[in-house]
């Protein structure tokens, strides 16, 4: 089995967002970059599959030199090889899906794994778009995956519940928190990764579907007030305020 794991480099969840001078992008100063957490579940699932069934795991990312950190980490965790597609990794989901499809289309991957969304962009679109461009099946927001010869069974999270999706391989499967518990890289893994090289290819030309013309911060919330008194008085005052002022009830 040959597995492709698509990884995205994103700002850490603790990042305080500042808008860059162009008014439409993130100011990269002081930003700590990490592998998108959902992609970590995807990578872990690929490595577990390799350990249990035997598989070749290829880690892939779209971006520039700094994106190599994501791939080095994937190699340290157990990916067999890594590919950097040089292009705009922060481009819209459709552009990134075309870049990855351009690479994957003739490589005969049995399974393509990625996060159900890239943290930050929050599009939740690249996976399904990639599946469509490659003409293969998809299962998104997956918390359980079973692989058989030529087919898969997956549990997908839905509103307040879940459902079982079955389909043929190859397929694109997008991971959700709960699929597994990602491991940490071992010292041995980190040392071994240093000896591996990252293959670098130019991204195929693509068309962009959307463009961000402005990035803005949410409006400040109005100053609130603290409710005084003992617990019973505070509770009474809150329910009253929610009813009369906020008209929530």
Partner 1 sequence: MILVFCELKDGQIRKPSAEALSEGRRLADAAGKPLGALFAGASCAGSAEAAKYGADVILTAEGPTLASYSSDAFATVIADAVKAKGATVLLAAATAVGKDMAPRAAARLGAGYASDVTGLSIVDGKLQAIRPVYAGKAFATTTFASAVQVATTRPNVFPAAEKPGAGVAETLAAPVGDFKSVVKEILAKASGKVDLSEANVIVSGGRGMKDGTNFKILEALADAIGGVVGASRAAVDAGWGLPHSMQVGQTGKVVSPTLYIACGISGAIQHIAGMSGSKFIVAINKDSEAPIFKLANYGIVGDLFEVVPELTKAAKAMGIGKN
Which residues 221-240 are close enough to bind partner 1 by CB under 8 A?
221-222, 224-227, 231-232, 234-236, 238-240
Contact letters (x/-) for partner 1, 119-158, by CB under 8 A?
A: xxxxxxxxxxx-xxx--xxxxxx-x--------xx-xxxx
Query: For residues 113 and 173, is the Cβ–Cβ distance under 8 A?
Result: yes
**Is the Cβ–Cβ distance between 6 and 63 less than 8 Å?**
no
Q: Mask 202-221, x = binds partner 1 (CB under 8 A)? A: -----xxxxxxxxxxxx--x
Q: Is the Cβ of residue 151 or residue 186 nearer to partner 1 in the bound state?
A: 151
Closer residue to partner 1 (CB): 132 or 202:
132
CB of 107 to partner 1, least distance (A): 19
Residues 170 and 136 sit within 8 Å (Cβ to Cβ): yes
Could you give the CA distance from residue 102 to residue 117 in angstroms, rounded to a whole number?
A: 20
Output 191 or 241, the one with its CB closest to partner 1.
Answer: 241
CB of 7 to partner 1, least distance (A): 16
Q: Provide the CA 7 distance to its chain's centre, in angstroms.
A: 7
Residue in 65, 159, 184, 187 binding partner 1, rule: CB under 8 A: 159
Q: What is the DSSP letter of 19?
A: B
* Element holding 40 (H helix, E strand): helix 37-53
- Neighbouring C-beta atoms of residue 135, cutoff 10 Å: 9
The residue among 103 and 193 lying less far from partner 1, judged by its C-beta, is 103
User: Which region among 49-57, 58-66, 171-179, 182-190 touches partner 1 (by CB under 8 A)?
Assistant: 171-179
Q: Which member of 21, 108, 187, 246 binds partner 1 (CB under 8 A)?
A: 246
Which residues ranging from 45 to 104 are in contact with partner 1 (CB under 8 A)? 92-94, 97
Minimum distance, C-beta of residue 158 to partner 1, in the bound complex (Å): 4
Nearest to partner 1 of 191, 212 (CB atom): 212
Q: Tell me how far, at minimum, the Cβ of 249 lies from partner 1, in Å.
A: 5
* Cβ at position 83, least distance to partner 1 in Å: 22
Question: Tokens in use for 77?
Answer: 């965790």
CA angle at residue 22 from 17 to 23, to 5 degrees?
55
- Distance, CA of 88 to CA of 74 (rounded, Å): 20
Strands (E), 70-148: 81-86, 111-115, 137-148
- The verdict on 167 binding partner 1 (CB under 8 A) reads yes
Q: Which residues ranging from 1 to 20 are in contact with partner 1 (CB under 8 A)?
A: 11, 13-17, 19
The answer to whether residues 42 and 114 touch, using CB atoms and an 8 Å cutoff, is yes
- Return d(Cα 8, Cα 121) in angstroms, integer: 10
Name the residue with tokens 């779209």: 62
183 touches partner 1 by CB under 8 A: no
């Amino acid at each position: 089995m040959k597995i492709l794991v698509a990884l995205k480099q994103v700002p850490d969840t603790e990042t305080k967002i500042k808008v860059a001078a162009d008014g439409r992008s993130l100011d990269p100063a002081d930003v700590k970059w990490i592998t998108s957490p959902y992609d970590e579940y995807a990578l872990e699932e690929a490595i577990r599959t390799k350990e249990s069934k035997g598989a070749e795991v290829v880690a892939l990312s779209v971006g520039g030199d700094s994106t190599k950190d994501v791939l080095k980490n994937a190699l340290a965790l157990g990916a067999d090889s890594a590919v950097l597609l040089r292009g705009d990794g922060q481009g819209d989901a459709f552009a990134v899906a075309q870049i990855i499809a351009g690479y994957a289309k003739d490589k005969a991957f049995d399974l393509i794994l990625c996060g159900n969304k890239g943290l930050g962009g929050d599009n939740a679109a690249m996976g399904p778009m990639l599946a469509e461009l490659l003409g293969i099946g998809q299962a998104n927001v997956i918390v359980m995956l079973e692989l058989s010869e030529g087919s898969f069974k997956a549990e997908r999270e839905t509103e307040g519940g879940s459902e079982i999706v079955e389909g043929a391989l190859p397929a694109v499967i997008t991971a959700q928190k709960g699929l597994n518990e990602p491991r940490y890289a071992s010292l041995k893994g980190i040392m071994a990764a240093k000896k591996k090289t990252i293959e670098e290819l130019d991204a195929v030309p693509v068309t962009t579907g959307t463009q961000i013309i402005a990035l803005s911060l949410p409006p400040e919330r109005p100053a609130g007030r603290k409710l005084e008194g003992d617990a019973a008085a505070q509770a009474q005052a809150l329910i009253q305020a929610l009813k009369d002022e906020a008209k929530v009830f």
